[in-house]
Amino acid sequence: MQYRELGRTGWKVSEVSFGAWAIGGAWGQVDDGESMAALRRAVELGVNFIDTADVYGDGRSERLVGQICKENKDRIYVATKAGRRLKIQTPKGYNRKKLTEFVEQSLENLGVETIDLLQLHCPPMQVYYMPEVFGILDDFVKEGKLRYYGVSVEKVEEALKAIEFPNVQSVQIIFNMFRHRPAELLFEQAKKRKVGILARVPLASGMLTGKLKADSTFASDDHRDFNRHGEAFDRGETFSGVDYDIGLKAVEELKAICPDGMSMVQFALRWILMFDAVTCAIPGAKRPSQADENFAASDMPAISEETMAKIGSIYDKYIRELVHHYW
C-alpha cells in the first residue's frame, strides 16, 4: 500500500481507502460479521483511512468503523459526514443546532471524543454561499469536536466554491473511468490550495468491476434497484449517472484494453491513482475477498499513456454526453 498526504492535515493516508456506505445499508442485505471481516482485512493490507456517514444504516456503518478503530493500536483516520439526517434538504437546516445534534450523534456512534474529518454531506448548493456554516465548523474545531472538516459534493462547481473557505481540507467527489470532469479544473485548483481529493464511487457502484450483466438484478433495498433514475437521491450516485446498458457496452471495451495481470477492478482503481491531485480512492467492500482485490490496486504498475488515451476515447464515445455537463 502506498500513502498520500491529505490536504494540510499532515496525515498520510492509504491511497486506496475504505468506503463504508455498503456495510451500513442501501446495498441489499449485509452481514455485520462479514463487514467486520472486510474491515479487518483492509487494515491488514495497510488501509488507514475510512469514509463513512451518520446516515449509512442510521449509525450502523459508524458503529462498525468505531469498532475496527478500537481493535487496532495503529492510527486509523475516520471521515464521517453530516447533513443528510435533515428530512428536507434546505440551506436553513444547516444551522448550529442541527449540526451540533448530528456531530454529537456521530461522536457517540464512533465512540470517540473528536471526529478526525467531518464532511458536509452533499448539501444544497446555497450552503456554499453561507460562510456562517463554515464558521460553525470552525467553532466545532475550536471546541475539540472535530480535528478537521471538508465537503462531499455532487458538482465540480460546488467543490470550486467550497475550497474558497480556507479551512476546508478535503473535497469528496465522484471520480472514476465514467466521470472525468473533476480532472479538468478542480484538481488543479485543489492542488494549488493543498486540498485533498477523495474519489468516491470509484467502481461506478460495481459497474466497472465488469461483473454486471444486462439481466443482473438487485434487491429492492439496494439503490441500484431503487435509485436507477434518481428516485431517492442524486442519480449520479448510482452507476455514476450512466445509463445501465450503455455502461455495460463501455465496460466491454474497457475489458479489452485491461492490462495483463490486473483485474477490471484494479484497472479502474489504478486509473484514479494516475492523477496526483487525488489523495485516495474509496471503494466500497462488503467482504474480505473484495478487500483483497481492491487494496492490491495500489501496488499495481502505472497505466501506460497509450492505454490512458484509449480510456479517454471510450469515455468520449459512450459516456461524455451522458454525464460531462451534469456534474
Ligand X SMILES: NC(=O)c1ccc[n+]([C@@H]2O[C@H](COP(=O)([O-])OP(=O)(O)OC[C@H]3O[C@@H](n4cnc5c(N)ncnc54)[C@H](OP(=O)(O)O)[C@@H]3O)[C@@H](O)[C@H]2O)c1
Binding residues (CB under 6 A) for ligand X: these are 19-22, 27, 51, 81, 121-122, 152, 172, 200-206, 209, 211, 237, 265, 282-286, 290, 293-294
CB of 283 to ligand X, least distance (A): 4
Nearer to ligand X by C-beta: 140 or 150? 150
Distance (Å) of CA 134 to CA 128, 147, 163, 219? 9, 14, 11, 38
Contacts for 40 with CB less than 8 Å, ≥ 6 apart: 68, 71, 288
Give all strands of the β-sheet with 280-281 in edge-to-edge order.
18-19, 49-51, 77-82, 115-121, 146-152, 168-174, 196-200, 280-281
CB of 258 to ligand X, least distance (A): 14
Nearer to ligand X by C-beta: 53 or 136? 53
Contacts for 42 with CB less than 8 Å, ≥ 6 apart: 18, 50, 285, 291, 295
Distance (Å) of CA 77 to CA 11, 229, 271? 8, 34, 24
Nearer to ligand X by C-beta: 46 or 306? 46
CB of 290 to ligand X, least distance (A): 4
CB of 158 to ligand X, least distance (A): 12
Q: Taking the chain, what is the end-to-end CA distance rounded to the nearest angstrom?
A: 31
Nearer to ligand X by C-beta: 27 or 267? 27
Nearer to ligand X by C-beta: 107 or 154? 154
State the residue number with the nearest CB to ligand X. Answer: 19
CB of 306 to ligand X, least distance (A): 26
